[in-house]
Structure 1
Amino acid sequence: MTPDTVGLALLLLGALLLVVKLIRVRWKLPQRLHVPGSVIGGGIALLLGPGVLGSLMGWLSDRGWGGSLTAGLARGGLFGPDVVSVWAALPGLLVSVVFATLFLGKPLPRFREAASLAGSNLAFGVTVASGQYVIGLLLALLVLAPLFDVPVISGALIEIGFMGGNGTAVGMGDTFDRAGWAAGQDLALGLASVGLLSGVIVGIILLNRGARRGQSSFIGPQAGNTGKERSGLIERGDRSEGSTMTVHPSSIDPLTLHVGLVALAVLIGQLLLMGLQWLERALWADAIQIMAYVPLFPLAMVGGALLQLLIGRFDRGDVVDQRSVERIQGLSLDMLILTSIGTVPLRGITADLAVFAILAVAGVLWSVCAFLFLAPRMMPGHWFERGLGEFGKSLGITATGLALMRMVDPEMKSSAYLAFGYKQLVFEPFFAGGLVTAAAIPLILSPHVGPVGFLAIMAVVLAVSLFTGLFVLGRGRRR
């Protein structure tokens, strides 16, 4: 991957964002559905990339149609494989940038407030994740294994593919090989792709349903959106400055200063993660590993909080402008959403189609039911925005949840983003590619635990998280 390729990929990404903004302004359908331009751009990139156009051209090339043109498009679609590979690498970096900006330029919340926000989201997340194992194992024991002759470890695929995502499915290839079921990785990859796409599509349906019912304070009729605002424009009289010049450009450009602060917050998070991983290896890594499963972005959020604490203590000139930080955050989020959707690997449905369909439908239905019936009762404040983010995460990667929160709360006025970030600090080491995800298949195959034993463990976790979310942290406590 050369510097020219990276530069070209970024230029094409910027041009695509501009094109989809024009589409969003002119096309009434995404305005009515509250679909942001980044999601539209991700759909265009997916259709013109290797996933759809590339696969179609590959199919034509295999049959000798089109000659060199179809062969070239088959390798990477309209954008080429090198550009797509750059785009595929961006979400992992950009998600850390988004979370690093959550605290910069803002007053830090108190510990009690942070714990209260994280608790409800954590209870909901654990409920959905453990429920994916319970539903999957029940299906595996009662339907999949006896009727379709697949291993009982197929019951772990919903959590691995949906909650864990494509990265977890790829990383567990050796686990499936050692279990003697290599086709399980193909099914997990297929579920990861379907989960991400269904998370966005079904999420948009749920979003518009909630907007019509007045469940959101930021979109829909009750929000008072004008025609121009629905098209993505701001009325002249309502426009405000996007940022404030807190330093003179003769010393350093204000945007450069804030980009540097965000970068420093991410670096602090990286150092924290490396330090915790080193401490774990030095003390108890031979017995159990937890920090090895923690991604960078929750620690980048902590890095931003520590940096803001330091700035608030020593900065007397108020050089950190919240609006400038928000513009960096918005750019990163738009690029993150577009590249995440546009680089979904549409592969993996090479094994039993019936098994795949049963697991996919069951996983999606469980997430929808959890959002509709549990989120309103487990999250006391801004349940719709917070629940929609958790719904997206339950079906795909973090970017799916961020995309849905971006749709329902474009100016980040609710507590959804902070609650999501706090919760991930505790949730990620265990589920969604963490310790429980890694241990699920070995424990199911273990003679000491087995599928029934692991099902019982997850059922207990599900019951405890449900009780905690509904009656200790949620609205049931107030009643």
Structure 2
Amino acid sequence: MPSAVIAGLLGLALGPAGADILPWTDTFASNAGLLTAALFSAVGLATDVPSPSVVAKRAGSMWAFNQVASVSQWLFAAMFGLFLASFVFSDLTPAFGIPMAAGFMGGHGTSAVVGDIFTNLGWEDAFTLSLTFATAGIFISISVGMIILQVALKLGLIKRFNSFQKMNDHERKGLIEEDEQRWAMKSTMSSLSVDSFAIHAALVVVVTAFSYVAADFLSSFHDKVQIPTFVTGFLGGMFVRMVAQRTGASQYLCDGAFNHASGISTDYLIVFGISAIKITVLVQYLLPMTLLAIGGICFTLFLIFWVAPRILGDNWFEKGIFSWGWLTGTVAMGIALLRIVDPNMKSKVLDDYAIAYVPGSITDIFIISLMPIAMYSGYHLEALAVGLSYIAFVLFVWRFVFQKSGQLVTE
């Protein structure tokens, strides 16, 4: 288990949710969002803009799976919640399932947006329900994720993971032997002018700041639309890299520095993300919430173990375990699980996910904005029909466009 996960669990146990020894501030949870923006800003600075053929080959399958998984999870949550409200718990609203999808896939940010939409529609409990599902989802993503890893290890699905018994003394301690140690980055600028690391760190900070400004601006056009900062950060980083390549400045930039910046952000993101969990459970909703959560877990496991191998192709398990963390908890939880099976990030899952999310983020915006209104207002069949039609469209594009494009690139 990565040290960051252990540190996060210790922070949770000693924080306000546990022994209340560590005095977390009211803004403590915002550190996770800041580090997510910094992480993808650094990833963008180290990522070349791919050609359409490369997108089709590298991220086409990831885009297809992300779209199928996210849309189908929203549809499953909506329809299962509608079933519970119609046949099991008569006092529930037909839109009861939506908070689960918002909490599981979207995390606390999306939960707040969806909760606010429902509050404006007249269902105030949805805000607390959404945040509760988001909190429970983080626990589910890690606990069930660790079980998945153990099962996958026994089935031989993990390629790069060494069991603890097979590790040498250095690997067990998380250290690198002296003869295998490598430089973190190369010096590209004279220390008489400026330290190389200072320039690289400044670029990450500037792009991260841009991600907040750009996300706030793009989100200001409608009060129910929220653009994630990690999307604008990744795009901003790629734009800076393009400018550097066009002007010849890229020869003075070191991808190793940006990769380490993303690694640092990842470790601290995991620590803050787990430590800042707030445990809230509404007693009156406990039973239907439990049934809904169990259904969501089973459906997400179906996506990971049945759908993922058929769409993702090579390294499907690494991409699948990351998607499990993302679909049940947050991107941070997906990264935490991915680091266990791919500590050196050789599978390039994060790069592919970031590339695939850019076109897919438009769909997420429409779902977050319209699905709560549709389910609360009684447009149940319409929402189901639109969702299934979009999934069919994605599968058609993946099968007859992306796969053929990938074959052409390979040939």
TM range (shorter): 0.7 to 0.9
Q: Give yes or no for the alignment of 1:131 onto 2:81.
A: no
Matches for 1:60-139 after TM superposition, within 5 Å: 77-82=20-25, 85-104=26-45, 107-139=48-80
Distance 1:305 1:158 in 2: 33
Q: Which residue of 2 aligns with 1:421?
A: 354
Q: Which residue of 2 aligns with 1:457?
A: 386
TM-aligned CA distance change 1:86 to 1:115, over 3 Å = farther
Q: Which digits, 9 at most, give the CA deviation of each residue in 1:91-144, with x for residues without a partner?
A: 111112111222435655333213443332222222222222332333234333
Matches for 1:381-460 after TM superposition, within 5 Å: 381-431=314-364, 434-446=365-377, 450-460=379-389
Q: Give yes or no for the alignment of 1:372 onto 2:302.
A: no
Deviates more, 1:129-138 or 1:332-341: 129-138
**2:10 paired residue among 19, 40, 44:** 44
Q: Which digits, 9 at most, give the CA deviation of each residue in 1:181-200, with x for residues without a partner?
A: 33333322221111111112
Which residue type is aligned with residue 439 of structure 1?
Answer: L
Matches for 1:26-425 after TM superposition, within 5 Å: 35-53=1-19, 77-82=20-25, 85-104=26-45, 107-149=48-90, 150-220=92-162, 226-270=168-212, 273=215, 281=221, 292-315=225-248, 318-425=251-358
Shift in Å at residue 261 of structure 1?
Answer: 1.8
Q: Which residue of 2 aligns with 1:73?
A: none
Q: Which digits, 9 at most, give the CA deviation of each residue in 1:331-377, with x for residues without a partner?
A: 11111111011111111434321101011111111111111111111
Contact 2:114 2:130 (C-alpha < 8 Å) held by counterparts: no
Shift in Å at residue 36 of structure 1?
Answer: 0.6
Q: Which digits, 9 at most, give the CA deviation of each residue in 1:278-297, with x for residues without a partner?
A: 8xx4xxx6xxx89x422121
Contact 2:77 2:97 (C-alpha < 8 Å) held by counterparts: yes
Which residue type is aligned with residue 445 of structure 1?
Answer: Y
Shift in Å at residue 277 of structure 1?
Answer: 5.8
SS of structure 1 residue aligned to 2:159: coil
Which residue type is aligned with residue 306 of structure 1?
Answer: F
Contact 2:44 2:236 (C-alpha < 8 Å) held by counterparts: no
Shift in Å at residue 86 of structure 1?
Answer: 4.2
Contact 1:161 1:188 (C-alpha < 8 Å) held by counterparts: yes
Unaligned runs of 5+ in 2: none
Distance 1:305 1:265 in 2: 10
TM-aligned CA distance change 1:445 to 1:143, over 3 Å = closer
Which residue type is aligned with residue 37 of structure 1?
Answer: S
TM-aligned CA distance change 1:382 to 1:359, over 3 Å = same
Q: CA RMSD in A?
A: 2.8
Report the TM-score, using the length of structure 1 for normalisation: 0.76
Decide which structure has the larger Cα Rg and report it.
1
Which residue type is aligned with residue 288 of structure 2?
Answer: V
Q: Which residue of 2 aligns with 1:27?
A: none
Distance 1:268 1:94 in 2: 14
Contact 1:126 1:427 (C-alpha < 8 Å) held by counterparts: yes
Which residue type is aligned with residue 84 of structure 2?
Answer: V
Shift in Å at residue 276 of structure 1?
Answer: 5.3
Which residue type is aligned with residue 319 of structure 1?
Answer: Y
Contact 1:105 1:308 (C-alpha < 8 Å) held by counterparts: yes
Which residue type is aligned with residue 460 of structure 1?
Answer: S
Distance 2:140 2:118 in 1: 25
Distance 2:386 2:49 in 1: 37
TM-aligned CA distance change 1:267 to 1:380, over 3 Å = same
% identical equivalent positions: 25
Shift in Å at residue 422 of structure 1?
Answer: 1.4
Unaligned runs of 5+ in 1: 1-34, 54-76
Q: Which digits, 9 at most, give the CA deviation of each residue in 1:54-94, with x for residues without a partner?
A: xxxxxxxxxxxxxxxxxxxxxxx211142xx3431111111
Deviates more, 1:411-420 or 1:259-268: 259-268
TM-aligned CA distance change 1:472 to 1:384, over 3 Å = farther
Which residue type is aligned with residue 79 of structure 1?
Answer: L
Distance 1:274 1:46 in 2: 30
Which residue type is aligned with residue 122 of structure 1?
Answer: W
Distance 2:162 2:128 in 1: 40
SS of structure 1 residue aligned to 2:252: coil
Distance 2:230 2:79 in 1: 34
TM-aligned CA distance change 1:381 to 1:141, over 3 Å = same
TM-aligned CA distance change 1:300 to 1:178, over 3 Å = closer
Which residue type is aligned with residue 395 of structure 1?
Answer: T
Contact 1:294 1:429 (C-alpha < 8 Å) held by counterparts: no
Distance 1:352 1:451 in 2: 22
Shift in Å at residue 428 of structure 1?
Answer: 3.0
Which residue type is aligned with residue 76 of structure 2?
Answer: I
Which residue type is aligned with residue 52 of structure 2?
Answer: F
Distance 1:185 1:297 in 2: 23
Distance 1:268 1:462 in 2: 33
- Of structures 1 and 2, the one scoring higher in RCO (CA 8 A, sep 6+) is 2
Distance 2:401 2:171 in 1: 40
Shift in Å at residue 471 of structure 1?
Answer: 6.9
Matches for 1:4-23 after TM superposition, within 5 Å: none
